[in-house]
Structure 1
């Protein structure tokens, strides 16, 4: 279970505090177990500083706390604050990452043949950059046509291998399992089952996908279809 620690303090030495965090990050390379850290100030009280640190588990957080470097930095942090910092320890019981959910839905529904998901999840001016196609597809109608070309030539599914969400972008590493059923890019129907691997990055705005970049092994697909030598 993921674990989050919230550290509250009062200080007007934010620059010094940030430098201290940089020092901690540098000295704990290869040792620290924290996976994500955010430092924020209260709009209503700029001296009120909150640090949110995420760990894979409570046990990993405790291991991180026991590092000599963490202890030393904490003592220096206390010296910068008006009063000793307070700690809130939280076990994560829900982690809703809405952009990742939308990205997954696009992969799942397109594989099922439901192109209506494009109208629901893509912005009207969506721009698609596909390494395997000539030029960009601009607008959801153009992207529907592009997807329709793959759907007409293959029966396929996507397996999501991993995803990273940062800011307004979601990067998905996937494996594509397909069987050719019609001509594709001038390649006559072979009836062969093929596997493709790639990465897609979606950029979101206002809850909808604004832009997409597909990078995948086109040459590998053509070799499997017998168009290129192995």
Structure 2
């Protein structure tokens, strides 16, 4: 379950606090378990500052708190505050909207902008992809990027989100796509034919990122449009 920690403090040294947060991010690069962090200032009281940090789980938050860099940053932050900061620990009960947003961004950047490397930021480190149209049904992120790159180069597809439903950590996508066969695809030389089709995908999200996905696209219809399979 996603975990959020809210750090509440009073300070008139906001710029120093902001630089301290940058220092924390740099000092814990590659080690910290936080997935998102933001700092906000109360519009009615410029000295009232909130730091909101998100983790995939409470356990990973505790792992992060044990880092020596985190302890040092906390002591430096306390020195900038008027009094001791207070902490509120929250188990996130609903974050469907954020999960929908990351799926929408995946469709826009990875598919429509043909930027497979964007998946590095949108997908969790242990990401798994399941697609019966790929040579291997269960693949990691790097393999999925390599195998899907052929599809992007061959058809330059544009994906339209027809429907998006989220519940808990799961997002279901109903989509349509259009493209043109401009590159070789599985030994089929470019034909210049326009193609279109539909599909569904299910995503499991974790800590604001996509941890797993399952894809089902009308591959038979695509082969018929290319003239490989008779009507």
TM-score > 0.5, shorter chain as reference: yes
The separation in 2 between residues aligned to 1:178 and 1:205, in whole angstroms, is 31
Where 1:97 maps in the other structure, the secondary structure is: helix
Instruction: Flag structure 2 segments of 5+ consecutive residues without an equivalent.
Output: 1-94
**Aligned residue in 2 for 1:144:** 145
The separation in 2 between residues aligned to 1:166 and 1:117, in whole angstroms, is 24
**Aligned residue in 1 for 2:12:** none
Where 1:147 maps in the other structure, the secondary structure is: helix
Where 1:113 maps in the other structure, the secondary structure is: coil
**Aligned residue in 2 for 1:228:** 229
Output the TM-score relative to the length of structure 1. Answer: 0.56
Assess if the C-alpha contact under 8 Å between 1:127 and 1:136 holds in 2: no
Instruction: Flag structure 1 segments of 5+ consecutive residues without an equivalent.
Output: 1-94
**Aligned residue in 1 for 2:135:** 134
Per-residue deviation at 1:104? 0.7
Larger Rg: 1
Assess if the C-alpha contact under 8 Å between 2:96 and 2:166 holds in 1: no
Output the TM-score relative to the length of structure 2. Answer: 0.56
Where 2:189 maps in the other structure, the secondary structure is: coil
**Aligned residue in 1 for 2:108:** 108
Q: How does 1:206-225 map to 2 (within 5 A)?
A: 206-225=207-226
Where 1:101 maps in the other structure, the secondary structure is: helix
Aligned residues: 136
The separation in 2 between residues aligned to 1:146 and 1:170, in whole angstroms, is 23
Residue 191 (str. 1) matches residue 187 (str. 2) = no
CA RMSD of aligned residues (A): 1.6
Per-residue deviation at 1:134? 2.5
Q: How does 1:20-169 map to 2 (within 5 A)?
A: 97-110=97-110, 111-169=112-170
The separation in 2 between residues aligned to 1:139 and 1:189, in whole angstroms, is 28
Assess if the C-alpha contact under 8 Å between 2:181 and 2:194 holds in 1: yes
The separation in 1 between residues aligned to 2:176 and 2:208, in whole angstroms, is 25
Deviation beyond 4 Å, 4+ runs, structure 1: none
